[in-house]
Chains A and B, each alone.
Chain A
């Protein structure tokens, strides 16, 4: 069953890529918008798709890569299904956001340089300010804010999230 779902997703994505290219008339001027829409599809910008885009727009892959790496909004690595954003704004920073970040990463088993878990469930990012300074140090899991985090709370949170993930898998 899973096979079918996945291939449907892949073929739909690729169709989408072509539709996006068509929609923007294969114009280099629209490269950023094209990449945005492709990223919305894949949740990141896969290398082979970028090469494909370069071929279709008749520009060099280096140029596409240059644009894709310039803007912080683009990701060239796959992103997880859930994004954990640890706030590193001034308030959170002062209240120990780096400990929180460390705890999050440790609990997810991320190695140095890795931001996404190998099962593609979680991606960890830091952000400037999520506007929850009163709750510092804070973090967000997708759209939900969790405040006054410490190492213990982080552990509980992650355990819970992982548990949910397993439950979902078992279905």
Chain B
């Protein structure tokens, strides 16, 4: 090495490494093929630097955290000294002291970073006390289980939910030995604003946040010879399940997954990319109609259940804009329970529909009441990639050696367009492939819309459809979405079509996928590439060219957006309250003859000035001298956010209440109620 280069080099464990823009010592060490253990470092989150696992010794400076120390030329770094080892052991013992240690019965057994690091350090005793208090598990959602007894307070979930989703479900609470990481007021996940995406859970280094398993139900179904079990496989999982069996991320294992499921006992295996094609047709036709009429634009995609529930809670003004097309999972569920059961001649209740998904929120979606008919859900069981891997392992299948099998007939595989649904930008590209031909009447020559690909958090594109220029935006991660919506509401940005995915990278970054790796961004990039490769290898690359789609329309649906299609493949959305009902009592009437008034101070109404209404209302009760007969409260959501500000008088909701209107309502409704009561 010459002098000049040496100036830009560091020494890691005796090996000289030339610096090339590495952000921290972790990255430099990787170049020397050394993987320094970490708990709180995630390449896509802010640096927290508190777990102290990554300590290394820097000559002349002592122990330094590798994750938050930038390399400086000339640094001499040692990653394995006796001080380093001692410090790491201490830290791990310290974590273990507060951590429930019954690894063999933990969901994360052999898939846990804490366990792996303890094993690699050869920890064989914990010198500190054991935790005494046992806290209850939170099993309140369909998606996740939170076991605070296994939490090591690394804060990864706190940052994931804050930085990726900007929801901030968790935070550090209390302090000292009482410190916890938990939702507000120690509530359950079902009682806070969680969208069930699992971004926290794939980053949790322990079994404190895990996917809620439906594996037992799945086994029960496949082992029951009375039932016909039909699976659908989502696009994203085909490029990730192999990772658990030593295959590189992005390797396409579709055929092996089909084969494994058949061995396990699934009777039929279908492709969710097929119903993604169906979604394309239905959603593009819907878009087409809206464009022509110039209404309900921009159209937002609706295949991501976390985004849908977020919109329902926060953007009541956009619910009309969400595509009414069901997600591919739910479309397939409907096809299975309404069409396949006829083809197979099996009664609905004997047909079990299982979906293999990258996503924890899909578990929630499958339980939405809109998708359950006469007590029978369209999708009975949702298995994440993690749970599917578990089943394959339980069945002792040598996954790598499996002979690939094709999907079953009559529905077969999806088109390449359906396959790329699994990556951010994919839905848009798939819709564009359809819409272009539909709108111009010309055959699309270049099917790849490169402009909508890539991992940037917001992508924009303008596409010429003959006369009309269509503006699209693609966003992943709700934090970015929130910023985009802000700009749109302020009129600073305009689009015709917006694709929203909750998870970074789209479904390939789903919360039910194999756990996050230190090199997560690289893993996502390769999974994305895997899906684009699968598309390239497809014979059929446009939804409209998929013969099975044509078959299904001929045999069942008639045409896109037909009445049958509307009934079976579309849905509707509701505004939902953000926070479980709590009324702030402001004025309490003790008289039995009273009227209850609640003013909504939820975000939407609050911004529209509901606080002034509250003041005015109190004034009015004073003015009429009925303070002791009118209860006034502030509440968080009356679920009519579009028409806010809202107030509720006894059980009746009044919307769009201005100050003047309030006086009128007060005089006409409240006072007359009081008069009536008094008589």
Q: Across the interface, do B173 and A69 meet the contact criterion of CB distance under 8 Å?
A: yes
Residue of B171, B185, B584, B591 near A63 (CB, 8 A) is B171
Chain A 55-72 interface 0/1 with B at a Cβ cutoff of 8 Å (1 = within):
110111111111001100
Interface 9-residue window, one of B140-148, B301-309, B626-634: B626-634
Residue of B169, B172, B193, B587 near A7 (CB, 8 A) is B587
Q: Across the interface, do A62 and B168 meet the contact criterion of CB distance under 8 Å?
A: yes
Q: Across the interface, do A7 and B185 meet the contact criterion of CB distance under 8 Å?
A: no
* Smallest CB-CB A-B distances: 9 pairs: A60-B168, A61-B184, A66-B171, A3-B590, A7-B587, A62-B171, A62-B184, A65-B184, A48-B582
Q: Across the interface, do B169 and A69 meet the contact criterion of CB distance under 8 Å?
A: no
Which residues from A are CB-within-8-Å of B341?
A: none
Q: Across the interface, do B173 and A65 meet the contact criterion of CB distance under 8 Å?
A: yes
Decide if B192 is an interface residue (CB 8 Å cutoff).
yes
What is the number of residues of chain A that contact chain B, defined by CB distance less than 8 Å?
33
A150–B627 Cα gap in the complex (Å)?
49
Decide if B603 is an interface residue (CB 8 Å cutoff).
yes
Residue of B192, B584, B588 near A6 (CB, 8 A) is B588
Q: Across the interface, do B627 and A7 meet the contact criterion of CB distance under 8 Å?
A: yes
Residue of A3, A4, A49 near B584 (CB, 8 A) is A49
Q: Across the interface, do A61 and B587 meet the contact criterion of CB distance under 8 Å?
A: no
Which residues from A are CB-within-8-Å of B584?
A: 14, 46, 48-49, 52
Q: Across the interface, do A7 and B589 meet the contact criterion of CB distance under 8 Å?
A: yes
Q: Across the interface, do A63 and B175 meet the contact criterion of CB distance under 8 Å?
A: no
Q: Across the interface, do B587 and A10 meet the contact criterion of CB distance under 8 Å?
A: yes
Decide if B636 is an interface residue (CB 8 Å cutoff).
yes
| B588-647, CB < 8 A from A | 588-591, 601-603, 606, 611, 614-615, 618, 627-628, 632, 634, 636
Q: Across the interface, do A60 and B184 meet the contact criterion of CB distance under 8 Å?
A: yes
> Smallest CB–CB gap between A4 and chain B, Å?
5
Q: Across the interface, do B169 and A4 meet the contact criterion of CB distance under 8 Å?
A: no
Which residues from B are CB-within-8-Å of A8?
A: 587, 627
A52–B162 Cα gap in the complex (Å)?
19
Which A residues are within 8 Å of any B CB, using their own CB? 2-4, 6-8, 10-11, 14-15, 18, 46-52, 54-56, 58-66, 69-70, 76
Q: Across the interface, do A51 and B184 meet the contact criterion of CB distance under 8 Å?
A: yes
Q: A65-B173, A70-B175 are in contact. Are A11 and B586 (CB under 8 A)?
A: yes
Q: A6-B588, A52-B584 are in contact. Are A61 and B579 (CB under 8 A)?
A: yes
A55–B577 Cα gap in the complex (Å)?
13
Residue of A nearest to B636 (CB): A51
Q: Across the interface, do B628 and A62 meet the contact criterion of CB distance under 8 Å?
A: no
Q: A60-B171, A62-B169 are in contact. Are A3 and B588 (CB under 8 A)?
A: yes
Which residues from A are CB-within-8-Å of B583?
A: 48
Chain B 152-185 interface 0/1 with A at a Cβ cutoff of 8 Å (1 = within):
0000000000100001111111110000001111
Decide if B400 is an interface residue (CB 8 Å cutoff).
no
Decide if B585 is an interface residue (CB 8 Å cutoff).
yes
Residue of B nearest to A60 (CB): B168
Q: Across the interface, do A10 and B579 meet the contact criterion of CB distance under 8 Å?
A: no
Which residues from A are CB-within-8-Å of B618?
A: 11
How would you classify the secondary structure of chain B's contact residues: helix, strand, loop or mixed?
mixed
Which residues from A are CB-within-8-Å of B627?
A: 4, 7-8
> Smallest CB–CB gap between A18 and chain B, Å?
6
Using C-beta atoms within 8 Å of the partner chain, give the interface range for chain B: 35 or more
A56–B182 Cα gap in the complex (Å)?
22
Which residues from B are CB-within-8-Å of A64?
A: 184
Residue of B168, B586, B611 near A59 (CB, 8 A) is B168
Q: Across the interface, do A69 and B184 meet the contact criterion of CB distance under 8 Å?
A: no
Which residues from A are CB-within-8-Å of B589?
A: 3, 7
Would you give 25 A-B contacts (Cβ < 8 Å), ordered by A? A2-B590, A3-B589, A4-B627, A4-B628, A6-B588, A7-B588, A7-B627, A8-B627, A14-B614, A15-B615, A46-B584, A47-B582, A51-B582, A55-B601, A55-B602, A55-B636, A61-B185, A62-B171, A62-B182, A62-B183, A65-B173, A65-B185, A66-B172, A70-B174, A76-B185
Which residues from A are CB-within-8-Å of B170?
A: 62
> Smallest CB–CB gap between A98 and chain B, Å?
20
> Smallest CB–CB gap between A17 and chain B, Å?
9
Residue of B nearest to A55 (CB): B603
Residue of A10, A55, A61 near B588 (CB, 8 A) is A10
> Smallest CB–CB gap between B582 and chain A, Å?
4
Which residues from B are CB-within-8-Å of A6?
A: 588
Chain B 397-429 interface 0/1 with A at a Cβ cutoff of 8 Å (1 = within):
000000000000000000000000000000000
Q: Across the interface, do B184 and A11 meet the contact criterion of CB distance under 8 Å?
A: no
A72–B627 Cα gap in the complex (Å)?
37
Which residues from A are CB-within-8-Å of B591?
A: 3
Name the residue in B167, B183, B587 with the highest tally of chain A Cβ atoms < 10 Å from its Cβ: B587
Q: A7-B627, A52-B601 are in contact. Are A14 and B171 (CB under 8 A)?
A: no
Q: A2-B590, A48-B583, A51-B582 are in contact. Are A65 and B171 (CB under 8 A)?
A: yes
Since A10-B587, A70-B173 are in contact, a sample of 6 more A-B pairs with Cβ atoms closer than 8 Å, ordered by chain A residue number, is: A4-B627, A8-B587, A10-B585, A49-B584, A60-B162, A66-B171
Residue of A3, A46, A54, A55 near B628 (CB, 8 A) is A3
A3–B587 Cα gap in the complex (Å)?
9
> Smallest CB–CB gap between A156 and chain B, Å?
35
Q: Across the interface, do A60 and B169 meet the contact criterion of CB distance under 8 Å?
A: yes
A61–B627 Cα gap in the complex (Å)?
31
Residue of B nearest to A64 (CB): B184
Q: Across the interface, do B579 and A51 meet the contact criterion of CB distance under 8 Å?
A: yes
> Smallest CB–CB gap between A62 and chain B, Å?
4
Which residues from A are CB-within-8-Å of B606?
A: 55-56
